[in-house]
Amino acid sequence: MNDSKLVRKFRLEHWQVVNIGLVLYDALVVNLAYFAAIWLRFDCQYSAIPRQYVYWILRFAPLYTPVCLLIFWRCRLYNSLWRFASYTELLYTILATSLTFLVQILGVRLLFGNMPLAYYCVGVLLQFLAVLAVRFSYRLVLLLRDARRKKGDVHRVMLIGAGAAGQMLLRDLQRNQDSGDEVVCIMDDDPNKWDRFVEGVPVVGGRDAIPAQVKQRNIDRIYLAIPSATAQQKREILNICNETGCELKQVPGVIQMLHEDVTLQSMKDVSVEDLLGREPVKVDLNEVFSFLQGKTILVTGGGGSIGSELCRQIAGHSPKRLIIFDIYENNAYSIQMELQEKYPNLDLVTLIGSVRDSRRLEQVFSQYRPEVVYHAAAHKHVPLMEDSPWEAIKNNTLGTYKTAYAAMRHGCQRFVLISTDKAVNPTSVMGASKRLCEMIIQTFDRKIKDGQAQSLPSLYTHAETESCPERLPEDIHTEFVAVRFGNVLGSNGSVVPLFKRQIAQGGPVTVTHPDVIRYFMTIPEAVSLVLQAGVYARGGEIFVLDMGEPVKIDTLARNLIRLSGYKPDVDIPVVYTGLLPGEKLYEERLMAEEGMRKTPNALINIGNPIPMDANRFLEQLPKLMASVYENREDVREQISHLVPTYQPDMAGAKPQADAPEAGPAPSPDPRNESGPEEGSPPEAEAEKRELAGAGV
């Protein structure tokens, strides 16, 4: 044990070994430098050097060497970290060389005699270079080694945009060498900039040349630096870039508005929303603010993807009180914590309960008296609802009825139903249940305007065992409206999270059918329009949000694969699994009987109500309720009696293309005049519309 301690005690550290080597090296070079100087002075001929000069150098070396080493030590040339050598170490080396130069001059002249001037001048220069070289060469070797390592990690970058933003980004990338990005070319649609240079980087063409330049120059990253481009322009460019398989980043448009410098840190990843190319939704925030300010607002399903975003945007418009109502406590708790942290002064109430429980609804409405209700609670998963149709009716249809009834009974000013385009010519139970919700809303509105609200049944399941609540008040002014829109990106029921999980697992990515088309909108966009539609409401309207151009789910899946850095059908396979029960190829936004009226917001339109027998509808609802609570197998047939446009697939997962034609074909949507989707032949588009008209 003592021997091992002794060994460790006398074992030299690495830096000590290095210093010993430096001492030996310095002892040699400080003398060789001056000998080389005199050798050079006499034309590199040793025989030409006077013997006395050689004798003086040899005699002075034993004195000069220890003095040099002492000066070097005092000047920290033996205790510096030379791998980090910088300007300070250079100054110390110059100081040490200057001091030893004085020693050399004085020592030789005083002890021996005069030497040639070249001996001193060249000698001190050679000594300085030799001492400096060995020390800074260590850092140079490390830098070269790191450079070789980085060379393999360098990302070859294509910059799109030779404007001010592109120039700022290029300068930042050139300054920030640690980023590992090397801009090798710039693309710009302005022909006047082609074959010219920005900061030494060539501008080689426009967007059409992007694929060829990526291959030619081995590009692996593309940065889009055009913050002023419209969403349509960005979509066109990004779709070209996405086909290359390169990693994509872009400068946010907010950079232009804030007049900030464009840096690598300000870049953001390209998302699937960017590839959809929607223009930003414009909402009159003053109208929304004045409508929501100072009101008690209830959001059912407030923990869900749509409901939680409703809560976020409502919380920012100074409501008197915001009530979150949800059956799932984890989601409700999550949005509660988020809002409490962001809006500490908000009067926030979070309640757990079900819209199917009329007694709980009565308790909530009687205690808090909400003035505005956003009804987002619903079962939305189409295939699951096909397997459990009774639950879709209980939760979506009857839950809406009970919530609307409670809102009407307790003086709510406005009730806004969140509906779906799947309610149009529904082929699924989920879509039919939401169409029933729209019919309920229009029935409530009509009865109130006709002064017949008392004829609306309560539909309490406990009415036989308990006394029903008191009768409705005589003066009822609740306005009931519905807002219909399509799929929202990132929602719990969206295909996007599913695709991302499948990509993370290495695939395959499952698409039901290569021709399935859907309308998409981001959650914040949809909710902003829902809030403004609520401002426009006068009762009985079905607001239809403009979702832009439809998107192929297959295209969406492949874009997500590319954005994740993989190649579709090469790295990640795309597998077609067949249409799910109740699924349609093409979602419509209007039924044939509905027309379209405009609102002040071009993205919000109003579908005209379809004539219906409200009394007959109210007579059949209790029968449907009894049927679903008994879980009867003929529930689809009963739904079809209430929803004439519902065409159930009684065989379950029968392919839609084989479904028989039923009902009149829907009239074309006056807002959708973009024609067939790019890349689709007119025959394919006609087939889709025919299928849509057939209710599939």
Residues of the chain with CATH 3.40.50.720: 154-270, 285-488+520-547+588-655
pLDDT in tens, 291-342: 888 999 999 999 988 899 899 989 988 899 999 999 999 999 999 999 999 9
- The set of residues, in sequence order, having a beta carbon less than 8 Å from that of 185 and lying 6+ positions away, is 158, 159, 201, 202, 203, 204, 213, 217, 219
Closest CA to 645 of 586, 693, 582, 595: 693
- pTM as predicted: 0.62
Compute the distance between CA of residue 126 and CA of residue 139 in angstroms, rounded to an integer: 20
In a 10 Å sphere around its CB, with 0-12 CB exposed, 13-18 middle and 19+ buried, how is residue 555 labelled?
Answer: middle
Rounded CA-CA distance 417/372 in Å is 11
Bridge partners (DSSP) listed for residue 520: 487
| Contact (Cβ atoms closer than 8 angstroms) between residue 234 and residue 224 | yes
Model pLDDT for residues 261-283, shown as the tens digit of each residue: 555 555 656 666 666 655 656 66
- Beta strand segments in 170-231, E: 181-187, 197-198, 201-205, 221-224
Euclidean distance between CA atoms 272 and 101, whole angstroms: 69
Residue range 586-643, pLDDT digits in tens: 666 544 445 567 777 767 777 766 778 888 888 888 899 988 898 888 888 888 888 8
Residue type for position 218: N
Q: If you compute the radius of gyration of the chain from its CA atoms, what whole number of angstroms results?
A: 39
Instruction: Find the angle CA(591)-CA(676)-CA(188) to the nearest 5 degrees.
Output: 130
Q: 211 near 244, Cβ under 8 Å?
A: yes
H or E, element range at 625: helix 614-629
CATH superfamily to which 154-270 belongs: NAD(P)-binding Rossmann-like Domain (3.40.50.720)
Tens digit of pLDDT for each residue in 543-593? 787 766 777 788 788 878 877 777 788 788 888 888 777 666 766 654 444
Average pLDDT, the chain: 78
Distance CA 411, CA 477 (A): 7
Q: In whole angstroms, what is the distance from residue 345 CA to residue 350 CA? A: 15
Determine the topology of domain 285-488+520-547+588-655 in CATH.
Rossmann fold (3.40.50)
Residue 639: which of 404, 395, 443, 433 has the closest Cα? 433
Phi then psi dihedrals of residue 300, to 5 deg: -80, 150
pLDDT per position as a tens digit, 506-536: 888 888 888 887 767 777 777 877 888 778 7
Strands (E), 286-342: 296-300, 321-326
* 250: phi then psi, degrees, rounded to nearest 5: -145, 160
Q: What percent of the chain has pLDDT above 70? A: 76
Helix, strand, or coil here: 240? helix
DSSP designation for 667: P
